[in-house]
Amino acid sequence: MIRLSDLTVVFQPKPDLRIDSFIGALQAMIRTQTGETGETGWRVTPLTGEVSFTEWRDHIDLVTRVRLRLTRPGPGTTESGLVASIAESGSDLATVELRAAEGLKASAPLVNELARLAEEGYGEFAAKGIAGEAFGAVREWNSNLRGETIITDVEVEAESGEASWKTLDAQLADVRSAPSAGAA
């Protein structure tokens, strides 16, 4: 669902529809229709703005998952340890995923190395966490977006497993207006 006044979008992620996949597809559709590409083309960004993983992590109470989809790094891109071993194997693609329901040590050297590799362009890094129990929402940081996505549980219809238009509309009403282009 799209609020036309500021082009804010809410949608229902599904197992076969990841958030970053949806955002990439939406961005591609808009760019195809407008003919704008590259740096001058339309860009879909989180309402929270761009933030580094370290800044995001510092505002999260509990990080429960991190995942790096590592594309083949160049020589000298890793210091040592697990990621260096993956690079030495010659693989074209590897995924490293850490999960802990009670929370990961998100400042651990391995986690920092995974985030750094993604920030240097050697893959995609994603993290999930919870900030403030009062909100009850999962926070997700993604290196492709360089920002946070907020995932809120909503009621779905029993038969279809889908959120109703009314539910999505209520979620959209709860989302603050996005800053207008050119606003500071």
Report which of residues 179 and 87 the model is more confident about: 87
Q: Which pLDDT does position 16 carry in this prediction?
A: 74
Does the pLDDT value for residue 158 go beyond 90?
no
Q: Which pLDDT does position 181 carry in this prediction?
A: 36
Q: Which pLDDT does position 99 carry in this prediction?
A: 94
Does the pLDDT value for residue 183 go beyond 50?
no
Q: How confident is the model at residue 6 (pLDDT cuts 50, 70, 90)?
A: confident
Q: Is the pTM of this model over 0.75?
A: no
Q: Which residue in 53, 57, 87, 56 sits closest to 70, CA to CA?
A: 87
Q: How confident is the model at residue 100 (pLDDT cuts 50, 70, 90)?
A: very high
Q: Which residue in 132, 150, 151 sits closest to 47, CA to CA?
A: 150
Q: Which pLDDT does position 179 carry in this prediction?
A: 43
- pLDDT tens for residues 43-69? 776 666 678 888 888 888 889 999 988
